Amino acid sequence: MLKHLGAVVVASALLLSTATMAQAEQISFDDAVGDKKAPGLDIVKASISNRDRAVVAKVTFRKDRRGVVSIGIMRRNKLWAAMDTKHRLSGPDSNYIRIGSAGNVRRVECDGLTSDWNRRKALLRMRMPAECLGGGNYGAIKSYVLAERWDEEKTDTDWAPRSNTENAPFRFTRWISRG
């Protein structure tokens, strides 16, 4: 009887210790098909996951087209950042991170920043290692997705989630806890 009770106590302790482990939070949102403002990528849906070791974004588009995709990231009391990819219709994409504040933006390289496209499904998956964002020293984030044309002017084609104002057409998501 004591052996059985001891096994139950150990099993309960293991269950409680694993139940308190942090889980990555994810947020997903849809965007209307055909609402793009210029020819280019049309966002259909997106999800952002704030994992312990990486920020992962998945974005589905109406059709695979060339363009620039930017996953904006806001941290509490820190400079904003964006995971960017210059998407080609064939061959590798160029990936980089922009970090900045109003009027002061710098482009930084990040080992391990990846963009994988399923061209048939027009699905982008971007992954940024945590070390690339403040050396991994951050917590919750807010995010948005912006698609731009690949031209001299980098004209915005679509963004999500949308806001209701002309001055700031996109808005950040709610805070996404880190897992």
The per-residue pLDDT for 124 is: 97
Q: What is the CATH number of the domain that holds 156?
A: 2.60.40.1190
In a domain, 68, yes or no: yes
By CB neighbour count within 10 A (0-12 exposed, 13-18 middle, 19+ buried), where does 61 fall? Answer: buried
- How much of the chain, in percent, has pLDDT values that exceed 90? 66
Number of compact structural domains in the chain? 1
In a domain, 6, yes or no: no
In a domain, 112, yes or no: yes
In a domain, 132, yes or no: yes
Q: Are 12 and 22 in contact (CB under 8 A)?
A: no
**Listed residue (168, 137, 19) closest to 75, CA to CA:** 137
- Tokens describing residue 82: 């964006």
Region of 44 please: left (phi>0), alpha (psi -120 to 50) or beta.
Answer: alpha
In a domain, 125, yes or no: yes
Q: Are 126 and 57 in contact (CB under 8 A)?
A: yes
In a domain, 170, yes or no: no
In a domain, 12, yes or no: no
pTM, two decimal places? 0.83
Comparing 51-60, 86-95, 122-131, the range with the smallest average pLDDT is 86-95
- pLDDT confidence bin for 111, thresholds 50/70/90: very high
Place of tokens 């951050």: 138
Domain that holds residue 141: 24-160
The per-residue pLDDT for 120 is: 95
The b/e string for 116-144 (b: 16+ C-beta within 10 A; e otherwise) is ebeeeebbbebbbbbebbeeeebeebbbb
Q: Are 119 and 112 in contact (CB under 8 A)?
A: no
List Cβ neighbours of 122 (8 Å cut-off, separation of 6 or more): 44, 60, 61, 62, 63, 64
The per-residue pLDDT for 153 is: 74
The per-residue pLDDT for 17 is: 40
The per-residue pLDDT for 18 is: 40
